[in-house]
Amino acid sequence: MPEITGDSIKDRTFDAIVIGSGISGGWSAKELTEKGLKTLLLERGRDVKHIKDYPTTNKLPYEFEHRGEVPLDIQKEAPIVSRCYAFREDTLHFFLKDKEHPYVEQKPFDWIRGYQVGGKSLIWARQTQRWSDFDFEGPARDGFAVDWPIRYKDIAPWYSHVEKFAGISGNRDGLAELPDGEFLPSYPLNAVENYFKEQVNKNYKNRHIISARGAHISKPQQVHFDQGRGQCQNRTLCQRGCPFGGYFSSNASTIPWAEKTGNLTLRPFSVVHSIIYDEQKGKATGVKVIDANTKQEIEFYAKIIFVNAAALNTNLILLNSISKRFPNGLGNDSDLLGKYVAFHNYSSTVSGEYDGMKEFTTDGRNPVGGGYVPRFRNVFKQETDFLRGYAAGFSARRSQDTDSSGFGDALKENLLNPKLGPWRVGSHMMGETIPKATNFVMLDKNLKDAWGIPQLSISVDYDDNDQKMIKDYEDEFSEMFTKSGFTNVKVSRTQKAPGLDIHEMGGVRMGNDPRTSLLNKWNQLHHCKNVFVTDGACMTSTSTQNPSLTYMAFSARSADYAFAELKKGNL
């Protein structure tokens, strides 16, 4: 029997429970509390209060003992997160120690997690693009996974809803394959990024270089001031947490907003063990939590439950939610729970140099990084020997030529007077991967973590389609660079394990048919209607867009539906 704390059941009963306080859970909590529902927001890690808990945010480079480098002893304790680009001396407190949170890698998988209030919304790369119907119709057209139960028109108003609140910078580019949104002013392309855009326009049809769209407040609106957020100050130190609230995070935005309603109870250090299913009522009644510090079991109850634990942990919680009715995991009649996991293929980069435009350089910093190349492969029709395609980031910056040869006065003089070198250009691919039953997560039968919860066992890998796509990206971008007059064009395969893209998705996919999917078009478990999954676990396919914006939109849309259903007495 679980040991119950002294709190009465009444104190542990809410209208809604949201599991996870990251980018999607923050949105679920905001929407539900705004509608007047008493909402418990559970977070397995510690609390991180906006500004107050950003210890490094205003530190100068020389105030870091190792000038930003992560000491080797810390890397040894965290070999997996150490491979993440954002894991630096100024941000390491927002990553977990791998050794404390073990999982089983049937195949290499770099699982990057942020166990704290705000989750990975503190440390994300802030790129935000809408999906189009070319993405939602992908599985049906190309014959993989299952058909998405929604189309662009279903989610478009919810994209608008979350964009206005979060603050998204971008241009209205008028591209069918990358719908425009509710944009704040864009961060314009620089001289060579624009030059590349013109060259590509000249040399290709249907290939576009646009300003990257990102969750940065380039020009604050009243709704941002109301959140206590201000204009992005181009620090590009975002992963430390932003004292201006210049980029979107749960901590700066949705959670304080939810708190202001008076309807939010935030409980950090709450590791969710499972969702409690009531056989008589035929629905979920609450969640079983292990207190992260005391290891005590506590149950919380609610009418509706939103699972936003981040894609793979949402799978874990559902797989671990065992009952007589659901012996294989909550809602898992189809036996597809944990399967059809996919991710984004970031396996290659192409770089080069440009000798022109030397009359220009850049000044200040671009918080969204530069340009974005929407997917151009297989968009309007199938045209290659692989399915789907890739988007890419593209950026250019003027290099500094520092002569660091020799020793003494001459060296010192050279270091302090670098010359502007040629422009350096670079791109990285973001490929769609095809969800497959053979890419899956499951519970390990024997191994448990420190809280007595089975460890997740991950078996996810690239396939032949991915390899062909990598080659195509390399060939196409090398050609696009060469045609633009870039020199020293180099391809670099990064050999990243899946996971390091931090875009893992699926396992609890949406679909029309309960026999071939777990969630319906409202992100509601087909077989347990008061449980909603609106994080990456719900994704039927991955497309090429950075996924967070879509999770935000799903969360808001689903919360709206759940509230309406609750009022109708259907849940």
Partner 1 sequence: MPSCSTEPGKASIDLKKININADQEALLAEIAETIIPENDKLGAKELNLHLFTLKMVDDCHNEEDQKAFMEGLNSMDKLAKSKYGNAFAKCDPGQRIDLLNAVSKEEGAAKEAAAFLKITKRRVIQGFMNSKYVMTDLKKYELVPGRYNGYFPAKQA
* Given 36, 185, 188, 452, the residue binding partner 1 (CB under 8 A): 188
Q: Based on CB atoms, which residue is closest to partner 1, 256 or 370?
A: 370
**214 is an interface residue for partner 1 by CB under 8 A:** no
Cα dist. 213→11, 178, 189, 398 in Å? 43, 11, 11, 22
Among 3, 416, 445, 568, binds partner 1 (CB under 8 A): 416
Q: Please name every residue paired with 175 in a beta bridge, in sequence order, or none if there are none.
A: 178
359 binds partner 1 (CB under 8 A): yes
Contact residue for partner 1 among 80, 125, 155, 191 (CB under 8 A): 191
Q: Does 411 bind partner 1 (CB under 8 A)?
A: yes
218 versus 250: smaller Cβ distance to partner 1: 218
Tell me how many residues contact partner 1 (CB under 8 A): 44
Q: Does 79 engage in binding with partner 1 (CB under 8 A)?
A: no
Specify the residue, 130 or 398, whose C-beta has the smaller distance to partner 1: 398
495: left (phi over 0), alpha (psi -120 to 50) or beta: left
- For residue 1, state whether it binds partner 1 (rule: CB under 8 A): no
**Smallest distance from partner 1 to CB 525, Å:** 45
Q: How far is CA 243 from CA 11, 172, 260, in A?
A: 35, 29, 19
446: contact with partner 1 by CB under 8 A: no
Report phi then psi at 412, rounded to 5: -60, -45
Does position 73 interact with partner 1 (CB under 8 A)? The reply is yes
Question: What angle (nearest 5°) sits at the alpha carbon of residue 202, between those of residues 197 and 205?
Answer: 90
Residues 229-258 that bind partner 1 (CB under 8 A): 233-235, 237
Span between the terminal Cα atoms of the chain, in Å: 27
365 part of the interface to partner 1, by CB under 8 A: yes
Cβ distance to partner 1 smaller for residue 189 or 342: 189
Q: For partner 1, which residue of 3, 10, 72, 280 counts as binding (CB under 8 A)?
A: 72
Residue 316 Cα distances to 294, 334, 343, 348, angstroms = 22, 16, 17, 30
What is the 8-class DSSP label of residue 70? P
In the complex, the smallest distance separating the C-beta of residue 172 from partner 1, rounded to whole angstroms, is 19
Structure tokens at 513: 């048919």
Q: Among residues 197 and 273, whose Cβ is nearest to partner 1? A: 197
**What CA–CA distance (Å, rounded) separates 260 from 37?**
13
Question: What is the number of residues in the chain?
Answer: 571
Q: Tally Cβ neighbours within 10 Å of residue 554.
A: 30
Which CB atom, from 246 or from 536, has the smaller least distance to partner 1?
A: 246
Position 364 contacts partner 1 (CB under 8 A) = yes
53: contact with partner 1 by CB under 8 A: no
All residues at 6 or more sequence positions from 474 whose CB lies less than 8 Å from its CB, including other chains: 348, 350, 491
Nearest CA to 530 among 337, 320, 331, 332?
Answer: 331
Contacts with partner 1 in 116-155 (CB under 8 A)?
none
Regarding 362 and contact with partner 1 (CB under 8 A), the answer is yes
Contact 168, 201 (CB under 8 A): no
Interaction of residue 366 with partner 1, rule CB under 8 A: yes
Rule CB under 8 A: say whether 361 interacts with partner 1: yes
Binding site for partner 1 (CB under 8 A): 58, 60-62, 65-67, 69-73, 187-191, 193-194, 233-235, 237, 358-367, 398, 404, 406-409, 411-412, 415-416, 420
